[in-house]
Amino acid sequence: TIINSCGSFYDMVHYGHSNQLRQAKAMGDYLIAGVHTDAEISKHKGPPVFTQEERYKMVRAIKWVDEIVEGAPYVTTLETLDKHNCDFCVHGDDITLTVDGKDTYEEVKRAGRYRECRRTQGVSTTDLVGRMLLMTKAHHSNIDNPDYQQHTDNFGKVCALALYGPKGHSPWTGVSQFLQTSQKIIQFASGKEPQPGDTIIYVAGAFDLFHIGHVDFLEMVYKQAERPYVIVGLHFDQEVNRYKGKNYPIMNIHERTLSVLACRYVSEVVIGAPYAVGKDLLDHFKVDLVCHGKTEVFPDKDESDPYAEPKRRGIFRAIDSGNNLTTDDIVQRIIENRLQFEARNQKKEAKEMAVIEAMKKRDQLEQSEAAAQNAH
């Protein structure tokens, strides 16, 4: 069974999208992901966070994707499915609208070639952008923080509230808190143990807002051996904030875990890895090689080099992925486009609310007609 997961959503690739692709792949045998151009996304949704080339590479790196279609049309038609020999297409249970408010999957739904998967609760591009725009440390630990609530109200809610009253929220655009479960980690994890002959490679970091810079680095790490088994050590939120400052990390440890596990170059993740890559860690995982990118290595709390032990063993390697993009750069893109992003989310929610109202009216009409027929 060949599935098409045609994504209006890949304007900023995050673990919610990865989870959608994981669910889609489970419905068949071969998954083709359609990724839109910058022009298409800008027309229907607003400015994308990543360029189309960055998004193509990001989606290719998600381990459940077998193939991507570059420049996929925003409206998925039967012609699109037939062109790529797809049996059906899959989308999340949120709604995707064109610039004039039409359902982009209307044609394939009518033809019975549409399947739906569940949206990942607690994450959206809207939410992540909101965290970046809100320069506070509160976004992980205190979602009830009044500053956060005030910001989210301004960010995509005001328009809907004004039009539809206090309960006028779209169920798809808005901010909620991601709740990690062991089941979710199991679904994302490869579950593969290292085999004899594998080269065990260890890398550590924040891997915040998992992006194309991370993908290029991990791909380069993966290429360091013939049979690589790549383990990523993720630092806890407080540790990341210690060395990065500001309001980092944007994503909490649970979100970062899923983001990294979704990458096809990663075999295992250490959740809350120690900052110093010491003897115990190296011996426990039988690490053959430790890699680090071009980003600055901050000293440990005692001012020591966190990579002193792998350097002493002669197993440390600095990797140049050729990509200079950092999480700071992404946040900067968001800040520079702040007004456009806020306008985008206001429009998006207003459109979604209009569709919800239309659906309610249609349901009410059908109920009235059914009641009238029963009366006769």
d(CA 117, CA 162): 31
Output the CATH code of domain 2-117. 3.40.50.620
Residue-level pLDDT at 358:
74
CA 231 to chain centre: 20
For domain 189-325, give its CATH number from 1.10.3720.10, 3.40.50.620, 2.60.120.260, 3.40.50.300.
Answer: 3.40.50.620
- 121, 233 in Cβ contact below 8 A? no
Q: How far, in Å, are 77, 218, 233, 247, 260 from residue 292 at the CA level?
A: 45, 10, 11, 23, 16
Calpha distance 343→357 (Å, rounded): 21
pLDDT-derived band at 215, boundaries 50, 70, 90: very high
pLDDT of res. 344: 60
Residue with tokens 């989870």: 19
Q: Let me know the angle formed at the C-alpha of 258 by 84 and 12, rounded to the nearest 5 degrees.
A: 55
Distance, CA of 164 to CA of 176 (rounded, Å): 20
Average pLDDT, the chain: 82
Listed in order, the ranges of the chain carrying CATH 3.40.50.620 are 2-117, 189-325
Average pLDDT over residues 117-128: 74
Maximum Cα–Cα distance across the chain: 89
Q: What is the pTM of this model?
A: 0.78
**Residues 6+ positions from 307 with CB-CB distance below 8 Å:** 277, 290, 292, 297, 316
Separation of CA 216 from chain center? 16
- Residue 242 pLDDT grade (very low, low, confident, very high; cuts 50, 70, 90): very high
Per-residue pLDDT tens over the stretch 48-67? 888 899 999 999 999 999 99
- Report pLDDT for 92: 79
- Tell me the residue type at 107: E
Closest among 264, 210, 259 to 18, alpha carbons compared: 259
Residue with tokens 């039009």: 163
> Count of residues for the chain?
376
